[in-house]
Chains A and B, each alone.
Chain A
Amino acid sequence: QKEVEQDPGPLSVPEGAIVSLNCTYSNSAFQYFMWYRQYSRKGPELLMYTYSSGNKEDGRFTAQVDKSSKYISLFIRDSQPSDSATYLCAMRDLYNQGGKLIFGQGTELSVKP
């Protein structure tokens, strides 16, 4: 079993839809959670960074962390064609001084006009 599981998709939605992207994990020591967006032929771009449990909102994006269920989510409201990209969840534990991130496999999202 992988430490972080993420449905690779592809996920196709119409413009304006609410998108829900999810990751589950097995390591209860994970404390820092990130979502990255990666466009084709570009590097991953940090979208959201959260510590421990709770919600964080930034514009059309909301990140949720439920440590009791070992489950994190990214919601995209009013999705746009420009949101079409691969979304990667990543996490690391409190004691990992080296900063090693554990990534999910990435979900490929397509938003159709």
Chain B
Amino acid sequence: DTEVTQTPKHLVMGMTNKKSLKCEQHMGHRAMYWYKQKAKKPPELMFVYSYEKLSINESVPSRFSPECPNSSLLNLHLHALQPEDSALYLCASSQPGTGNGAQHFGDGTRLSIL
């Protein structure tokens, strides 16, 4: 079992729907990440939160909206997605800064856009 928990595990949505992905960690980490992973490709960074503030946005389209309500929770709000957004969405956490920055991943949400 991973220490980063993501819900739901699977999500199917139409292009006009609004949904949210949720991530929770209880490792005391203060940096949290959203990644997108397509089949047979490595994870691609989308957003980084450090101490609950957005520190990196990798030019992600505005139909993806992240939110970090507190140090252990991370959400990704989805709206008007496109079929090419179908992918595995991974959450990760770590300690920020130049110390032990190893990122720990959840098992992801498998998203399908109809």
Residues of A bordering B, CB below 8 Å: 8, 32, 34, 36, 41-46, 49, 88, 90, 92, 94-101, 103-106, 108
Contacts and interface: CB of A to CB of B under 8 A. Distances in A.
Contacts, number: 67
Contacts of B106: 43
A95 B33 CA distance: 18
Contacts of B31: 99
Given A98-B48, A99-B31, A104-B42, A44 B105 contact: yes
Nearest to A92: B101
B42 A46 contact: no
Q: DSSP majority for the A interface?
A: loop
Contacts of A94: 98
Interface in B47-100: 48, 50, 55-56, 90, 94, 96-98, 100
A3 B78 CA distance: 31
Nearest to A34: B102
Contacts of B43: 44, 88, 103
